[in-house]
Amino acid sequence: MSDTFGVASIAASVRSGALTASDVLEAHLERVAAHEDTIHAFNTVLADEARRRASSVDDRVASGHDPGPLAGVPIALKDNLCTRGTPTTCSSRILDGWRPPYDATVVERLAAAGAVVVGKTNLDEFAMGSSTENSAFGPTRNPHDPTRVPGGSSGGSAATVAAGFAAGALGSDTGGSIRQPAALCGVVGAKPTYGLVSRYGLIAFASSLDQVGPFAMSVEDAALILDAVSGPDPFDSTCLTSVVSPSASNLGRGVEGLRVGIISEMSEAEGLAPDVRARLVQAAEALESSGATVAPVNVPAVTYGLSAYYLIAPAEASSNLARYDGVRYGLRAPGTSDITEMYTESRSRGFGDEVKRRIMLGTYALSAGYYDAYYGQAQKVRTLIIRDFDAAYEKFDVLLSPTTPGTAFPIGEKSADPLTMYLNDVFTIPSNLAGHPAVSVPFGSGDDGLPIGIQVLAPALREAVMFQAAEVLESKSPANPIAPMRSALSLQPSARSAK
């Protein structure tokens, strides 16, 4: 879906002087002022900093400099990305009052590209969840229907884009936390290949799975944001050290001759809503009629993905979250008599139920005597998933699946039942376990009128072909619902360019 004031068009207009970054920002801040009380997408709106930043972008243009490929583009950041001197909460009480002493690498890269950060967005605490209901600061609401969840854990970032509070956003995806909320909010969301984007300054959940990625209203816009933030980083030893060709490099090529596999284990999954399945069939037909060859393919091990993920992710989380002990960061329980009590009280008060559940699951899975039976087995499943994907990619360039089993569900519907909640990520988790890229593209709506997302999966570092196929799907999509608050921006040509 092309948006007149998407990332590419804002950057082009600001670079040419046709619009000022300040006017673009004010138009977005107006929508924040009008609708943020309903949506609660942000933990912090950084209006003053954004205004300073936008005016410095405008000064650069006025003095004949190019501010960069994201010139004047308002971007929202998931609140698990470190921003120097600005609270970074992970939507947890345990980080109360903590201000990072440094910017995440992706935050530095956005600034270098000329983007304007508008705020930090709400998430499930420490990115654990699929609905943004597990936030210590209350849930975010879906801009298409405020009685529904926006998905999660990057629900705030998805909602900022759907509501038009920002032209793009960054989120993190450990098991689907970019793609699932993108699908539920009717926006594009991409998880890159593991290692393509630096994790330096992304607060760790499960380090072998976490990746930062973009949200935007169009495939092109998502690719542009990804290209601005990706690339080698000496501060992240898991980051790839070589430069790869840009994610946007195949856009506009169409899909003539491209081989597309429909993952049978996902398209025929029990629990897949009939309206979502119907859209998947339509998406496959759209690619076929655009010149791709489409056929079903088996990727058998993906059916074990969810089980393996709920051993590996909590195991890594239990280790990563051990650092929140009341000593080094944020909250420290007052009035305790010894250090053990201080640790216990701080962690008991600072973490919410889902985070505690994951820490206990992970600690158990790693404990002596159970390690081989649980964590070891899960790692073997991970290898099987990679092998099955490799076999599928011998015959296909990209694979297709639904992003989620259904559309956005009512707030409160699944929050008391963690297992039902976990099932939301059954189609997204395998790409994280394999380290492969995947993108969710809006593809029409369901019987309830809410957005549906189709997922395009690709082999490692094949983002370019993934976006190439995704762009064709986008162009062939049935009408996508637009969130009521995402009104068209009425922007006048800048006074500066009129002079």
What's the number of CA atoms in the CB half-sphere (13 Å) around residue 145? 16
Q: Cα angle at 332 between 327 and 337, to 5 degrees?
A: 90
- Residue with smaller CB distance to ligand GLN, 68 or 362: 362
Burial class of residue 480 (count of CB atoms within 10 Å of its CB; 0-12, 13-18, 19+): middle
Provide the 10 A C-beta neighbour count for residue 264.
15
- Residue with smaller CB distance to ligand GLN, 5 or 374: 374
Question: Which of 153, 404, 468, 477 is the binder for ligand GLN (CB under 6 A)?
Answer: 153
The residue whose Cβ lies closest to ligand GLN is: 177
Using the rule CB under 6 A, give the single segment among 126-134, 262-270, 445-453, 456-464 that binds ligand GLN: 126-134
- Dihedral over Cα of 470, 210, 270, 293: its sign: positive
CA–CA gap between residue 146 and residue 129 (Å, rounded)? 18
Contact indicator for 216, 168 with CB cutoff of 8 Å: yes
Please, which of residues 221-260 interact with ligand GLN by CB under 6 A? none
- Number of residues engaging ligand GLN in binding (CB under 6 A): 13
Beta bridge partners of 75: 117, 168
Radius of gyration of the chain from Cα atoms?
21
Question: Which of 69, 72, 143, 176 is the binder for ligand GLN (CB under 6 A)?
Answer: 176
Asked if residue 174 binds ligand GLN (CB under 6 A), the reply is yes
- Residue with smaller CB distance to ligand GLN, 26 or 413: 413
- Residue with smaller CB distance to ligand GLN, 20 or 177: 177
Contact indicator for 205, 127 with CB cutoff of 8 Å: yes
Q: Which residues contact 201 (CB under 8 A, 6 or more apart)?
A: 81, 82, 100, 102, 103, 104, 105, 106, 107
Asked if residue 125 binds ligand GLN (CB under 6 A), the reply is no
Please, which of residues 9-48 interact with ligand GLN by CB under 6 A? none
Asked if residue 130 binds ligand GLN (CB under 6 A), the reply is yes
Active site annotation includes 120 = no
Using the rule CB under 6 A, give the single segment among 17-25, 91-99, 167-175, 388-396 that binds ligand GLN: 167-175
Q: How many residues does the chain have?
A: 499
**In the bound complex, what is the minimum distance in angstroms from residue 176's beta carbon to ligand GLN?**
5
The catalytic position among 153, 198, 218, 267 is 153
- DSSP designation for 43: E
- Residue with smaller CB distance to ligand GLN, 178 or 292: 178
Question: Which of 42, 205, 409, 427 is the binder for ligand GLN (CB under 6 A)?
Answer: 205
Active site annotation includes 153 = yes
Using the rule CB under 6 A, give the single segment among 99-107, 127-135, 214-222, 263-271 that binds ligand GLN: 127-135
Residue with tokens 């935050």: 107
Please, which of residues 54-93 interact with ligand GLN by CB under 6 A? none
Closest CA to 425 of 149, 151, 139: 151
- Dihedral over Cα of 109, 114, 115, 116: its sign: positive
The catalytic position among 9, 135, 154, 177 is 177
Q: Cα angle at 481 between 450 and 250, to 5 degrees?
A: 110
Helical residues (DSSP H) of 396-427, grouped into ranges: 418-422
Active site annotation includes 13 = no
Residue 345 is inside which H or E element, if any? helix 339-350
Asked if residue 425 binds ligand GLN (CB under 6 A), the reply is yes
Beta bridge partners of 262: 296, 400
- Residue with smaller CB distance to ligand GLN, 72 or 152: 152
- Residue with smaller CB distance to ligand GLN, 11 or 149: 149
Question: Which of 7, 29, 127, 158 is the binder for ligand GLN (CB under 6 A)?
Answer: 127
- Residue with smaller CB distance to ligand GLN, 197 or 464: 197
Question: Which of 67, 69, 114, 129 is the binder for ligand GLN (CB under 6 A)?
Answer: 129
**In the bound complex, what is the minimum distance in angstroms from residue 208's beta carbon to ligand GLN?**
13
**In the bound complex, what is the minimum distance in angstroms from residue 254's beta carbon to ligand GLN?**
31
Which are the catalytic amino acids? Answer: 78, 153, 177
The residue ranges that bind ligand GLN (CB under 6 A) are 127-130, 153, 173-177, 205, 313, 425
